[in-house]
Amino acid sequence: MSAAAPAKLPPEERLVNLVVALMATEQGLTKDTILASVSGYREQSEAGASKDALEKMFERDKEALRKLGVPIETIGDWADPDDLREARYRVPSAEYELPEDITFTPAELALLTLAGGVWSENSLSADARSGVRKIRALGIPLEDPIIGFAPRLHARESSFVALQQAIEQSRVVRFSYLMPGRSQSRRRRLQPLALVEYEARWHVYGVDLDLEADRTFLLSRIVGEVDITREPFDESLRVGAGERALRGLDEVASRNFALVEVTPGTEAALRLARRGTPAGQGLRVPFVDAHVLADELASYGPEVRVVAPDDLREHVTARLRAAIITNGGEA
């Protein structure tokens, strides 16, 4: 009886495994070493994926990480720097050293301490440890210990993995989407071009085939499973899609803002100050979706008071009243 094919690693785990490997060596790793040793590529190679397909996957992953701000360095032949056939890749550890003049508030230090208890060497997955051992076995020196990356990452929305897979394969998807205030979801047919994070929430951007127009959808409003069809689309449509999606969201946010009063030193103050600007009466916070922002503001409870706009204040008040009733109180 033939052995079962290895499970395909979710794309976000493959990306973090790649970062772990590239940060673990000052010498750098060749593309062949990465494809043979790093979990996410190795399984696909063992399952019979072509080298060309794996190299394209690696190039897409490199580009995705660079867009996220990960500084992947390419080291060419010293005699011919333009010859990249035996190029090595690494993430310089110095890029992650904090400047000496950086200081943190007590609240920020508390959050960092909490994070440090979660992100530790022991958080490395078995796949990442196995990949590191394989790289060491090739005689490539690795920095030890590797601390700060946890490859077992999972997107909050269950649709993330299916959408990322459809993007990689350039295939049309179908899903049900529920708009705020509606009781029935609507079926959508989309050419998915990019997944982007905005206002701490994931969105999928692409071409809505029924509307024949570019659209951005919030993953948390996708109802049920995402169906990946066999219908392909031109992969060149993906070029620059992430930038277009973020540019469109920025344009929407530039036209909408909330004025909120925030209790100093609270979680709400820390989070909202990162994307808001001081105003005469509190913070001016740009937003894309009033319902999404209302969910967030309501979660802070008495730490936040909405000054304007009126409809946002009503959304937040309605959520707080519903929470009180749900917990047995009277609104």
- CATH number for 192: 2.30.30
Q: What pLDDT is attached to residue 147?
A: 36
Q: Indicate whether 286 and 168 sit together in one domain.
A: no
Per the structure, the complete domain to which residue 218 belongs is given by 159-238
Q: Is the pLDDT of residue 164 over 80?
A: yes
Contacts of 66 (CB under 8 A, 6+ apart): 72
Burial (CB count <10 Å: 0-12, 13-18, 19+), residue 315: buried
Q: Indicate whether 196 and 279 sit together in one domain.
A: no
The confidence band for 329, taking pLDDT boundaries of 50, 70 and 90, is low
The two three-digit tokens of residue 320, written as one number = 């707080």
Q: For 124-142, what is the mean pLDDT?
A: 52
Q: Is the pLDDT of residue 150 over 90?
A: no
Contacts of 56 (CB under 8 A, 6+ apart): none
Count up the domains in the chain and report the number. 3
Q: For 48-53, what is the mean pLDDT?
A: 83
CA distances from 42 to 18, 55, 129, 231 (A): 11, 12, 14, 28
Q: What pLDDT is attached to residue 4?
A: 46
Please report the beta strands in 119-170, taking only residues with DSSP state E, as ranges in sequence order.
none
The domain boundary, picked from 210, 238, 266, lies at: 238
Q: Of 316 and 69, which is predicted with more confidence?
A: 316
The confidence band for 143, taking pLDDT boundaries of 50, 70 and 90, is very low
The two three-digit tokens of residue 103, written as one number = 């200081």
Q: For 95-122, what is the mean pLDDT?
A: 55
Q: Indicate whether 1 and 140 sit together in one domain.
A: yes
Q: Is the pLDDT of residue 212 over 90?
A: yes
Q: Of 306 and 281, which is predicted with more confidence?
A: 306
Task: Select from 84, 89, 86 the least CA-distant residue to 62.
Answer: 89
Q: What pLDDT is attached to residue 279?
A: 87
The two three-digit tokens of residue 197, written as one number = 């994070």
Q: Is the pLDDT of residue 154 over 80?
A: no
Q: Indicate whether 59 and 195 sit together in one domain.
A: no
Q: Indicate whether 273 and 229 sit together in one domain.
A: no
Q: What pLDDT is attached to residue 85?
A: 65
Amino acid at 76: G
Q: Indicate whether 187 and 275 sit together in one domain.
A: no
